[in-house]
Structure 1
Amino acid sequence: MTATPGTSARQSYPPSSVARGRGGRSSLGDAVLLLGLPVLAVLAVPAAFAGGGTRRWFGGRAESQRADAQAAKDAAATAFYELDTAQRDLRISIETIAAVDDSPAARRAVADFEALGHRIDEVSRQYIQAVDAHDLDRDDLEAGTAARARAELTAAKDELVRVRQELDRFGGSLGPLLGKAETQLARLAPAVERARQSLLAASNALDAVRAGNLRADELAARLAALSPELTKLNQGAGQHGVQSTLERAERVQREAGAIRAEAERLPERAAEIDHRLVSLRTRAQALTTRAGQVEPVLSELRRRFAAACWQDLQRVPALAAENVRQAELKLREAQAARDAQRWPDATALLSTVRALLNATDDAVSAAGERLSRLNAVQKDPQAEIERTRFAIRDAQRLAMTGRTTPDPRHARPLDDAVARLERAVGTLEGRHPDYWHFLSETEAVRRAVARVVAQIREERGAGH
């Protein structure tokens, strides 16, 4: 507003001016008290107060109009100060919203408040002009002049009241925005404190790890990287904004918490790496022994079965030896990384060792399993044939359930499976059957049949 409490407008036009003369002259009541005269005596000699700097006594209509104008002036002053107080209170709410919320609704509220501020300035100017235009303390104030003053001051008061009502309605509409902003502000101090406590806990955890002769260089570097964030938190929301400070506090708390958790787990991680080093070293030694047993298995396969049954296994001994050699090399590197307390490097190297040993295990096992399966099918090929035919018949029964004729989408692949099985059986004729091809074909037939069964069940489940 243009004028505020304590400004010249209020000081120049006190509500009590209706009872006080110009230039500091005493009123009638003051004179009575000062001279100690009886009231009736004073009333009997009004001319005694005409001089000496006091206002002449006027009775009747002029004095009544003066009193009415003064009452209008006091009412306008009250409306002016009430509007000013309401605007000041609402400005605090707007500043709270603006500090926290950058949403379109918040920006619109700020703009609307500025527009109301212009309206308030305008009605305040009208009020002050009405006050300045009329000296209600003049001795020769005429009744008509006092009446005009009362009308103008009343109009100014009415405008002030109307704008105050607009301001109140606007303030009432800010409830959701203000509630959200106050909630954010209420979260601010606890969030910053939690971030500080998380940083302290992470630092203490690192100190405890170092006391156990374990380095945590990577974690210490991550903690040091949070130092600028802590500085910004200490600078406060006034410099960096409430929302940004909240997000920074939550980010610092989250990262510091992760550092603390990793630091507290570091002794366990070191022990786990030590255990894996021993375990994988033992496994590598065992696989070296098992790899030496592959060659005799291959010799038997070559002696008893067609070349197609074992040719793909020829490289297993060399592959196993190379994998074990690589695994032992990586184990030595992992041990060095562990000794240097390069935990991520040690963990990655141990994962590589495990993958190499798994591949070696699979290759070595494949040779033994091949010989076992070939022995079984050579002894009784009919068992494999019946197993596959049972799978086909079971699928055919499912395809016909609830139908008089099978669905071509199901019947065709099942018919193909029957034909493929018959061809596989035909390969067993001759002096040197390819039993491995036969086993591969029966497995492929069963997989095809299983796909048809899954398709039938899925379609019927969806239809049901």
Structure 2
Amino acid sequence: MTATPAQPYSPLTRLRRGPTAARAAHLDSPARATRAALDTLTLMSLPLLIGVLTLPAAFAGGGTRRWFGGRAESQRAEAQAAKDAAAAAFYELDTAQRDLRISIDTITAVDDSPAARRAVTDFEALGRRIDEASGRYINAVDAHDLDRDDLEAAAANRARTELTAAKDQLGQVKQELDRFESGLGPLLGKAETQLARLAPAVERARQALLAASNALDAVRASGLRADALAARLAALGPELTKLNQGAGQHGVPQTLERATQVAREAEAIRAEAEQLPERAAEIDHRLVSLRTRAQALTTRAGQVDPVLSELRRRFSAACWQDLQQVPQQAGENVRQAETKLKEAQAARDAQRWPDATSLLSTVRALLNTTDEAVSAAGDRLRRLNAVQKDPQQEIDRTRFAIRDAQRLAMSGRSTPEPRHARPLDDAVARLDRAVTTLEGRHPDYWHFLTETEAVRQSVARVVGQIREERGTPGH
């Protein structure tokens, strides 16, 4: 008879084999064996009995699932795989939504255009679909405990179906989110560009303010007050405060615009401050120069009366009547200029630079007017002397201009264009009429001179028109 291999010893086998091998040798019948087993159990304490009754569970590995067969475990595994896939889709969608939220926040921080507002609305609608898909996933997870020991195959199959459907819906919403994100490219690019400009723009504004402040300090050290520039710089203080508070409080576009304006104004203040010593020196120079000019014009204005006297003596009234008021007007202009010069000097002493500059411009205009009037009297006498001595020179000069224009009008043509020929013919007739004014005892030489000048101007306009039409450059 072949010996039975020894079995591993355990409490369960000991209970089955009996308390001792010797005792079991006497149990030679089923009845005796039953009685021996009962005797043994009687002798055991109650705690030991409770332990023995729980031994099958301990033998199964302590807390592991019971084995329900291959189909149930296969369905459980498939359901768990569906759950893992749904979880991955859920976290992928959640991550994408968080990333896209950052993009939307970037756009809204910079852009308030209709396109940006529409993007926000569309993102909120997507968020509602994301919440719906996420809710379906969470409900499916909560509804099925795949770790239950007594999970049935049908329950595992239902869990797999619901989790797979939840995963598919999450995936569909993720595709919508991806398409939406791809359409945000232009808006996001514009927003990121502005954000990239923000920090440098703010820094430029701060540096410009610092440079302006340093320039003002240097000007004051030279003895110039620059009060107006200091007031302009002080007015930028609240703007700097807003820049320091940041775009989060005031908005990116507004902060960019503010930084640009502050930098521009501060740069202007700095430039004016640096130019202030030179400006002061220029004003001092102009004061001296205009004062000297006013004195010279006073002397020249005194010479107008002799000129007018000669004009009255030698020429008809038409040649000098318009110059009668020149001496009086010249004197008045010079007196006004001298008064303005005193005011300009006071403004310069008070370092009111804009006032001083404005007053000096007024003085210059007054002296220019006076200079022209005084010069006109002398120039009138000179021209009248010349035409009285030889009027033919003025006539020849004008006829030459007319003939030159006529040759140009006929160049390359058998007949001139009427629009060119007519004004040239009128110029010839006008010159002839002007020449006739020289006849008589008291010729109106001034009328003759103004007419010949007008004829030459009209001829010059025709020449310019011809050259423009033919595309040829002027002489």
In the superposition, the TM-score normalised over structure 1's length comes to 0.86
Q: Sort the Cα spacing of 1:351 and 1:52 in 2 relative to 1 into closer, same or farther, 3 A.
A: closer
- What aligned pairs does 1:15-54 form with structure 2 within 5 A after superposition? 49=59
> How far 1:407 sits from its partner (Å)?
2.4
Q: Give the aligned partner of residue 207 of structure 1.
A: 217
CA gap 1:297/1:47 in 2 versus in 1, 3 angstroms:
closer
Counterpart residue number, 1:164: 174
Structure 1, residues 398-440: CA drift from partner, whole Å, max 9, x if none? Answer: 2222222232222222222212211211111222211111111
Contact 1:185 1:242 in 2 (8 A): yes
What per-residue deviation string (whole Å, max 9, x for no partner) do you get for residues 169-202 of structure 1? 3223323322222222122111111111111111
What amino acid is the match of 1:118? R
Q: Structure 1: give runs of 5+ residues left out of the alignment.
A: 1-34, 36-44
Of 434, 439, 452, the residue aligned with 1:429 is 439
2:234 equivalent in structure 1: 224
User: Against the structure 1 CA distance between its residues 119 and 223, is the aligned structure 2 distance closer, same or farther, given a 3 Å change threshold?
Assistant: same
SS in structure 1 at match of 2:260: helix
- Residue 455 (structure 1) aligned with residue 437 (structure 2): no
Q: Does 1:100 align with 2:115?
A: no
Q: Distance in 2 between matches of 1:76 and 1:452?
A: 89
SS in structure 2 at match of 1:102: coil
The 1:49–1:62 alpha-carbon spacing in structure 2 relative to 1, beyond 3 Å, is farther
Q: Does 1:376 align with 2:376?
A: no
Aligned with 2:337: secondary structure? Answer: helix
Classify 1:49/1:425 alpha carbon distance in 2 versus 1 (closer, same or farther; 3 Å). same
Q: Separation in 2 of the partners of 1:90 and 1:457?
A: 66
Distance 2:470 2:464 in 1: 10
Deviation of 1:138 after TM superposition, in Å, equals: 2.4
1:86 corresponds in structure 2 to 96
Contact 1:288 1:324 (8 Å CA) reproduced: yes
Q: Which residue of the other structure, out of 349, 359, 364, is the alignment partner of 1:349? A: 359
The AA in structure 1 aligned to 2:255 is: T
Query: What secondary structure does 2:471 align onto?
Result: helix
| Aligned: 1:445 with 2:444 | no
Post-superposition shift, 1:288? 1.0
Tell me how far apart the structure 1 counterparts of residues 422 and 314 of structure 2 sit (CA, whole Å): 38
What residue identity is the alignment partner of 1:288? T
- Alpha-carbon distance in structure 1 between the residues aligned to 2:382 and 2:98: 93
Summarize deviations over 1:375-398 as a string: whole Å, max 9, x none.
111111111111111111112222
Cα distance 1:108–1:49, how it changes in 2: closer, same or farther (>3 A)?
A: farther
Name the CA shift for 1:368/1:147 in 2 (closer, same or farther; >3 Å).
same
Q: Structure 2 vs 1, CA of residues 47 and 207 (structure 1 numbering), >3 Å: closer, same or farther?
A: closer
Decide which moves more: 358-367 or 70-79: 70-79
**Alignment match of 1:414 (pick from 405, 410, 424):** 424
Q: CA deviation at 1:47?
A: 6.5
Aligned residue identity for 1:271: A
- Contact kept, 8 Å, 1:337 with 1:346, in 2: the verdict is yes
Secondary structure of the residue that 2:151 maps to in structure 1? coil
**Counterpart AA for 2:319:** C
Query: Percent of pairs identical after alignment?
Result: 86
Which residue identity is paired with 2:453?
E
| Residues 368, 161 of structure 1: alpha-carbon distance in 2 compared, 3 angstrom cutoff | same
Map of 1:365 onto structure 2: 375
Matches within 5 A, 1:264-343: 264-343=274-353
Amino acid in structure 1 at the alignment position of 2:118: R
Supply the distance in 2 between the matched residues of 1:376 and 1:48 (Cα, whole angstroms).
141
Alpha-carbon RMSD: 1.9
Distance 2:176 2:423 in 1: 80
- In structure 2, relative to structure 1, the CA distance for the partners of 1:163 and 1:389 (3 Å cut) is same
Q: How many angstroms does 1:46 deviate by?
A: 6.8
Deviation at 1:52, TM superposition (A): 6.8
Tell me, in whole angstroms, the C-alpha distance in 2 between the residues paired with 1:450 and 1:85. Answer: 80
Aligned CA distance change for structure 1 residues 373 and 51 (closer, same or farther; 3 Å): closer
Larger CA Rg, structure 1 vs 2: 2
The answer to whether 1:187 aligns with 2:197 is yes
Matches within 5 A, 1:2-151: 49=59, 55-151=65-161
Residue of structure 2 equivalent to 1:30: none
**Structure 2 runs not aligned, ≥5 long:** 1-10, 12-54
Q: Determine the C-alpha separation between the residues in 1 that align with 2:147 and 2:300.
A: 120
Alignment of 1:240 with 2:250, yes or no, is: yes
Is the CA contact (8 Å cut-off) linking 1:46 and 1:57 kept in structure 2? no
Shift of 1:105: 2.6
Counterparts of 2:359 and 2:161 in 1: how far apart (Å)?
94
**Offset at 1:443?**
1.1
SS of the equivalent of 1:139 reads: coil
Letter in 1 for 2:84: D
2:268 alignment counterpart: 258
Please report how far the alpha carbon of residue 328 of structure 1 lies from its aligned counterpart in structure 2 after TM superposition: 0.8
Q: CA deviation at 1:321?
A: 1.1
Q: Residues 154, 203 of structure 1: CA spacing in aligned structure 2 closer, same or farther, 3 A cutoff?
A: same
CA contact (8 A) 1:202 1:260 kept: yes
The code of the aligned residue for 1:126 comes to: R
Checking the alignment, whether the CA contact within 8 Å between 1:50 and 1:57 is kept in structure 2 is no
Q: Which moved more, 1:119-128 or 1:53-62?
A: 53-62
Residue by residue over 1:212-244, the C-alpha shift from the partner in whole angstroms, topping out at 9 and shown as x without a partner, is 111211111111111111111111011011111
Partner of 2:32: none
C-alpha distance in 1 between matches for 2:212 and 2:252: 25
Over residues 279-305 of structure 1, what are the superposed CA-to-partner deviations in whole Å (9 max), with x where a residue is unaligned? 000011111111111111112212211
Q: Once the two structures are superposed, what CA deviation does each residue of 1:29-74 show, in whole Å capped at 9, x if it has no partner?
A: xxxxxx9xxxxxxxxx976546976543322211221122122112
Match of 1:5 in 2: none
The amino acid that maps onto 2:346 is A
**1:392 is matched with which residue?**
402
How far off is 1:128 after superposition?
1.4
**CA distance in 1: counterparts of 2:211 and 2:154, whole angstroms:** 81
TM-score after normalising by structure 2: 0.84
251-260 or 423-432, which moves further after superposition? 423-432
1:378–1:77 CA distance, 2 compared to 1 (3 A): same
Secondary structure of the corresponding residue to residue 162 of structure 2 = helix
CA distance in 2, matches of 1:405, 1:58: 120
Q: Deviations over 1:344-370 (max 9, x none)?
A: 111111111111111111111111111
Q: 1-side partners of 2:180 and 2:438: how far apart?
A: 94
